[in-house]
């Protein structure tokens, strides 16, 4: 199923079945409200599974189109910018599919948010997370950084709600901190000094600061590991070198407070021999950099 007609026909059949099911759910007066909700939830699950199947097709078609173009143009596989050399018509061949996938996930998300309640369980939250993550992949393919970041952050917020179901909550929180830090890059931040728009700066700062705070919390708990220390060193350095110099007076104070907390935690670790030689060296540099700003 790797031609346009195949995925189009597959999606058309799915859409027909979804419309028929929606009509049955809305028209029938039989059954309890719980049964109606369960049928709607199953419909959402089917849409999400279909979205992921279409994502697989999208990835395969994009790869095949690029390989055909690369072969035709004799572009070296070592050329990292080869994708940029593809003509617009070739690069945009999958846009129709990508937009169709977007609609599939958005329809599922709309219904899931309508069904959401304070008592939703594990299965609902897992599917809600997958829906947001699927949308994030679509918006990545569409090169929409803002919506990619928004959907990824929404998925992370669901992960917070899933924490009670995790046996190793600490490991999950560490992964969440790492993912929030990664979102800084999709928010538009450029660590070479490029300025962002006000909105993009705010999104990047919010994601980065939340990541920073999780590392602080993890290090405050015992025992803490080297991954948390590495994460805190990284986020503290970026706060000092990127965000504080580019902040206004109101934002600046909250960022400085976050840096001071981190320096205190790192100082305790350093005094108690909790830093590796490399970490200690980075900590010294961070203290030196911070002294120029704080």
pLDDT in the model for residue 205: 84
- For residue 16, what are its two tokens? 């027909």
pLDDT in the model for residue 3: 53
Domain residue spans of the chain:
1-165, 168-294
pLDDT in the model for residue 64: 78
pLDDT in the model for residue 223: 78
pLDDT in the model for residue 293: 80
> 173 and 164 in contact (C-beta within 8 Å)?
no
Which residues fall within 8 angstroms of residue 61, CB to CB, at 6 or more apart? 2, 93, 94, 97
Nearest to 214 by CA among 172, 277, 166: 172
Note the pLDDT tens digit of each residue in 202-236.
Answer: 788 888 999 999 999 999 987 778 999 999 999 99
- The answer to whether the pTM exceeds 0.75 is yes
CA distance 156 to 214: 13
Note the pLDDT tens digit of each residue in 61-91.
Answer: 878 777 777 777 665 555 544 445 444 544 4
Residue 216 CA: distances (Å) to CA of 267, 277, 293: 13, 20, 21
pLDDT in the model for residue 206: 86
pLDDT in 10s for each residue of the chain, 294 residues = 445 658 999 999 999 999 999 998 887 666 678 888 899 999 999 999 999 999 999 998 878 777 777 777 665 555 544 445 444 544 455 568 999 999 999 999 999 999 998 878 999 999 999 999 999 999 999 988 889 989 999 999 999 999 999 999 999 999 999 999 888 876 555 555 445 666 777 788 888 999 999 999 999 987 778 999 999 999 999 999 888 887 887 788 899 999 999 999 999 999 999 999 999 999 999 999 999 887
CA distance 8 to 126: 28
Which residues fall within 8 angstroms of residue 112, CB to CB, at 6 or more apart? 41, 44, 124, 127, 128, 131
Phi and psi, residue 28, nearest 5°: -80, 140
């Amino acid at each position: 199923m790797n031609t346009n007609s195949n995925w189009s026909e597959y999606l058309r059949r799915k859409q027909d079945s979804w419309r028929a099911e929606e009509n049955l759910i809305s028209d029938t007066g039989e059954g309890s409200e719980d049964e109606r909700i369960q049928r709607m939830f199953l419909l959402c699950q089917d849409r999400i599974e279909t979205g992921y199947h279409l994502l697989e097709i999208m990835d395969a078609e994009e790869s095949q189109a690029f390989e055909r173009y690369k072969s035709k143009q004799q572009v070296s596989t070592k050329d990292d910018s080869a994708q940029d050399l593809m003509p617009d018509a070739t690069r945009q061949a999958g846009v129709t599919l990508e937009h169709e996938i977007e609609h599939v996930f958005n329809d599922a998300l709309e219904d899931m948010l309508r069904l959401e309640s304070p008592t939703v369980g594990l299965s609902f939250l897992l599917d809600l997370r997958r829906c947001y993550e699927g949308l994030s992949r679509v918006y990545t393919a569409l090169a929409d950084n803002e919506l990619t970041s928004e959907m990824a952050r929404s998925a992370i917020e669901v992960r917070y709600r899933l924490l009670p179901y995790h046996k190793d909550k600490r490991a999950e929180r560490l992964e969440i901190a790492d993912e929030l830090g990664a979102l800084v890059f999709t928010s538009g931040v450029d660590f070479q000094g490029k300025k962002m728009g006000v909105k993009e700066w705010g999104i990047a700062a919010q994601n980065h600061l939340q990541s920073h705070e999780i590392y602080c919390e993890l290090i405050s708990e015992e025992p803490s590991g080297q991954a948390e220390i590495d994460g805190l060193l990284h986020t503290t350095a970026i706060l000092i070198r990127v965000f504080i110099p580019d902040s206004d007076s109101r934002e600046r104070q909250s960022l400085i407070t976050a840096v001071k907390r981190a320096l205190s935690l790192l100082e305790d670790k350093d005094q108690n021999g909790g830093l590796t030689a490399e970490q200690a060296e980075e900590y010294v540099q961070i203290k030196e950099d911070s002294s120029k700003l704080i």
